[in-house]
Chain A
Amino acid sequence: MRDLPTLLRDALPPDRPALDLTAVRGRSRALGRRRTLTGAAGAAVAVATAGALVLAGQGTPSDEQEVLLPPATSASASPPPDATPGPSPSPSPSEKPVEQPSQSRAEARRDGVVPAIAALPLRRRMQVVEQVKAPEGVWVLSRIPDDTGPYGNLGARRGTYGRDRVYAPEYGELLLLDAARQRVLRAYPLPGVPPTPRLPGEHATSLLLRPDAVYCGRQGDGGLPTSMLCRVDRDTLRGTVRLFVAPADDAAPSYLPAGWTVDSAPTEVAVFEELLVCGGALCTKGHDGRARFDPLTLELTD
């Protein structure tokens, strides 16, 4: 029997290109220039202002504590005993085995979910990135688990991306589940702006529960540069999404689901890594500083 790691190492071409540090430095500078130039009209101004507030002591680290939900309030694998039923009268878990489709066709239409996603059983549809328990159920920021769908493509191969088909690694959802986390009460698809999985040591909060609404966020990264803020009204369950399309993302959406808005100022600033409450307002925070955002429109406001 031959050893696979050795075979793989030997299979690589020996004359692979060497590291060109000059090119890395040059490309890094170009990326920095692009960020500065394109963000200056909108969000970069907001970040500079937010940064000034931090320096002035108005955005203190203690503000962040207010939004980080303590572990005791996070949903766990065991169902919470005092949770109230969700708003959708779907069959109970005992009537609906786990391997059944996670949503009916009618529910998928209502939520704007690609039929192929709704047809998946919940365990093949949901991989929890963050979750929080609320009286109406459990809010889950989720990605598609690995191995779902042939080569990651789900839905009609020639349909519109986000409406008829998705590429599983680039699809996420905000889900409202029942308290037992067995059925989907509402789904809010996030095609092209999935939540970013956490690396070891990272503890950013991308899901924020407030009395009137739940918010989610995404910082664009190397592969999918577009950032995003979302809001779901906890009373009406209406969802809104604001995209902050990075100039580098030539795959900016041609199809916008209901309730989605593309921010008018293209931006590549890193301010969307965490959601928090700062001085009574809602803020996003990242490597480039903080920015307040309007709690209804999700526009960056300062």
Chain B
Amino acid sequence: MSSSGQEVEAFCRVEHPRLLAALTLYTGDVDLAAELAQEALARAHRDWAKVGRMGSPGGWAHRVAFNLANSHFRRQRYERAARERAASRLPAAPGTPADGGDPDVLRAVAALPHRQREAVALRFLLDLSVDDTAARMGCAAGTVRALTSQAVARLREDSCLADVKDPSRA
């Protein structure tokens, strides 16, 4: 395999778990997240000669993945309906052994508006800085702060997350 081929596959190995985690939180659907992550990485693989030279290939892949997710929601007509579907696909009972994780938390995140969800996924799950999150979302740093603050306030309205600490105030 060429050095470029090794490079892009190393990139895929590093980015895949991060993409998958962020997209799972964003879409509330691990299967959809896996599909979107694979499509984004396939596009990075195809265009690696260009993407590999970018300042932030990971940022490019995340942008493509979230754009794909947004298009998916748009094509399902209305995002609200899509969110409800995504939420309904989550296990009804918390802590179902087959799924693991905490479906109550995922359901609460799935109920957030999509920009708040994206900000939460990038900022708190992937632990990106405010500036990096802003660059990936294509918005101002102040907008990221506002989105995450609104998201945390909204999450706290959920009884299972009432005692959550606002990480941006830590």
Contact = CB atoms under 8 A, between A and B. Distances in A.
Interface stretch (A88-96, A178-186, A205-213, A219-227): A219-227
Contacts of A146: 115, 137, 139, 143, 147
Contact of B38 (A23, A32, A200, A223): A23
A247 B70 CA distance: 18
Interface in B144-170: 146-147, 152, 155, 161, 163-167
Interface in B72-108: 74-75, 78-80, 99-106
Q: How large is the interface on B (under 10, 10 to 19, 20 to 34, 35 or more residues)?
A: 35 or more
A272 to B, nearest CB: 13
Nearest to A169: B70
Contact of B56 (A32, A169, A201, A270): A201
Interface string B47-74: 1011000111001100111111111001
Contact of B21 (A12, A23, A153, A222): A12
A3 B105 CA distance: 12
Contacts of A11: 25, 101-106, 109
A251 interface: yes
Interface in A198-251: 198-202, 221-224, 250-251
Contacts of B75: 250-251
Contacts of A199: 54-56, 59-60, 63, 135-136
B138 A251 contact: no
A287 B50 contact: yes
B139 A127 contact: yes
Interface in A230-283: 250-251, 270
B127 A12 contact: no
Q: Most chain-B CB neighbours within 10 Å: which of A1, A16, A152, A221?
A: A16
B20 A197 contact: no
A20 interface: yes
Contacts of A23: 38
Contacts of B120: 8
Q: How large is the interface on A (under 10, 10 to 19, 20 to 34, 35 or more residues)?
A: 35 or more
Contacts of A12: 21, 24-25, 30, 101, 106
Nearest to A20: B38
A144 to B, nearest CB: 11
B42 A8 contact: no
Given A3-B167, A11-B106, A251 B101 contact: no
Contacts of B38: 20, 23-24, 27
Interface in A91-117: none
Contact of B70 (A8, A17, A24, A170): A170
A27 B103 CA distance: 31
A14 B54 contact: no
A287 B74 CA distance: 28
B2 to A, nearest CB: 13
A199 to B, nearest CB: 5
Nearest to A201: B55
Interface string A151-177: 111000100000000010110000000
Contact of B67 (A10, A19, A222, A287): A222
Nearest to B75: A251
Contacts of B33: 16
A251 B25 CA distance: 25
Interface string A25-69: 101110110000000000000000000000000000000000000
Given A25-B45, A223-B68, A287-B47, A157 B102 contact: no
5 contacts: A13-B24, A21-B9, A146-B147, A200-B55, A221-B63
Interface of A: 1-5, 7-17, 19-21, 23-25, 27-29, 31-32, 127, 143, 145-147, 150-153, 157, 167, 169-170, 197-202, 221-224, 250-251, 270, 287
Given A9-B21, A198-B138, 11 more contacts: A1-B163, A4-B152, A7-B164, A10-B101, A11-B103, A16-B20, A16-B21, A17-B34, A147-B146, A200-B55, A200-B135
